[in-house]
A and B are shown apart, each in its own frame.
Chain A
């Protein structure tokens, strides 16, 4: 029965891949096109890539993207790892509902997360303004800023927020796979709880931490929707800049920068997957 279907299966598979990857392939091909057309091939050139690196707006947004991704990943990795350990120490009856709550932001539509964060920041700024005016009125030693606006700070907070669940999801299973007695064993051999944490727990869950951090970094790099609603007007990530450029005349620079973004994310995802496959093999060989 399997054999009968195999030709049909292959065609179907091919169609799926064409629909998935033909547009991206087209984008990559035209990023090397000489001339400004995005439908007629005029010969190979690296012009658009060259121009890209002289475009100050794009370079600025690349810098913003990398910085926000990097900082958000580091902070989320710390927070998420400790949160995962907290979950691990909880009783199952408490842990499971909380894990569901943790998973909701990942399933949630980005636009809902983005808009709700945006509303939250605005509400907070209003409250802060009232508070700062009152505070500046009753004393004159510290002058609190009255007007806060969205920018790099809110962008970073938003990225940390949506990254933490990925870290927890990646570290949690590593903790549960760990032999519970390892912590007892470390304490038995002279470690305080903190020493046991650094010398035994961290090395055991390190693969999970690294995988989680890589996933979080990937998510940050290619996020558009949430950034769009939380970056305000002063900060712009690469994805936002590309979107902004498409509103005006479509420049083939978009093809070039999109290609670079695609390849970066692809490489990161490949690293995550290879790591996971390798760990799975290692675990299988241990059993």
Chain B
């Protein structure tokens, strides 16, 4: 996982003067599972389509193995794609769908010493390679079915096989699990990771589902409004978010205005909390992220802060409670039951506090005053598909 395979350099894209990507710089290593994560319209699908060759960037370069490929058409790139809603060919059966790429291929004839003659892949080899793929996606015996006689999950796997049979160096996946139900999605996440490790190639995965990204990726690229917000491992992104947007988008976060008194000491609500962060100017205003699971509930006397419980939701494994601390509402996940209206104290360990520099996203996220509505929005986001950045339907 060391060799660099793809590099995007100063990539910009605009549809009708409407900027979609701003100066994207990114490199992707060989055999890496990289996820482009962000809300609808953040530019992740456009980035993927540029790598696939379906869209030409307004400016900037795409390098593949060190060679500029901006003008190489998709059919000459060693990259294959799994499309949203699969895009299987409805008039071909499963076998012919998977064999499609192989039948299109021409390669130099091994019998021709000059190597100039281009020949088709022999039928016996096509047969063999398609059957091998059917084995990998566990759909043996389905080769004569038409795509519309398959379930969503099966179509999904055929789409993956159709791309992988060409032995690409990179597989692009555009929200491939978006149309599946929750249970199937979880199974397919594990299945995809297994396939990636089995074939040993680079996967570039686009999703708006943060949990999916955390589960599968080696590297996550968080995007918003056409710009990269943060690049890192899932642990980095979750534990050390760079700004309020990332903190809010990945998992649940309470984001509080604070003041960095000095290294390892941050002030919130006029009280000082020891923490493990440093490198800020003394008394610099900061955003403080506290994850709901890092908060201990104690008695009011023992607490660093005291607040009133305003809402309790039972979640099975824990309670989600909303606590009002002087008008700013926090989400706390706890196994203890606290009734609505109770006064409670809280304690936060130094490693439960994460301090971020102020950004343009400060003050936009992290308050749970509109708790229930926010949950509704999250549900909507997972249903709505990514109808972004096509430009032609404006």
Contacts and interface: CB of A to CB of B under 8 A. Distances in A.
A140 interface: no
B91 A187 contact: no
B73 interface: yes
A195 interface: yes
B87 A179 contact: yes
B60 interface: no
A286 B147 CA distance: 9
A169 B104 CA distance: 32
A182 interface: yes
A184 B393 CA distance: 17
B74 A188 contact: yes
Contact of B87 (A91, A185, A192): A185
Given A187-B73, A188-B52, A181 B83 contact: yes
A187 B81 CA distance: 10
A43 interface: no
B89 A200 contact: yes
A186 to B, nearest CB: 8
B89 A188 contact: no
Given A91-B394, A188-B163, A285-B148, A203 B91 contact: yes
Given A91-B394, A92-B393, A181-B85, A188 B90 contact: no
A208 to B, nearest CB: 13
Q: How large is the interface on A (under 10, 10 to 19, 20 to 34, 35 or more residues)?
A: 20 to 34
Interface in B66-113: 73-75, 79-81, 83-85, 87-91, 100-101, 104-105
Interface string A187-224: 11111100100001001100000000000000000000
A190 B80 CA distance: 9
B91 A190 contact: no
Contacts of B52: 184, 188
Given A188-B54, A192-B75, 18 more contacts: A91-B392, A91-B393, A181-B84, A184-B74, A185-B88, A186-B100, A187-B53, A187-B75, A188-B81, A189-B80, A189-B101, A189-B162, A189-B166, A190-B104, A203-B91, A204-B90, A285-B148, A286-B148
Q: 10 closest A-B pairs (Cβ-Cβ)?
A: A190-B104, A181-B87, A189-B101, A181-B83, A185-B87, A203-B91, A187-B74, A286-B148, A188-B81, A190-B75
Interface of A: 91-92, 179, 181-182, 184-192, 195, 200, 203-204, 285-286
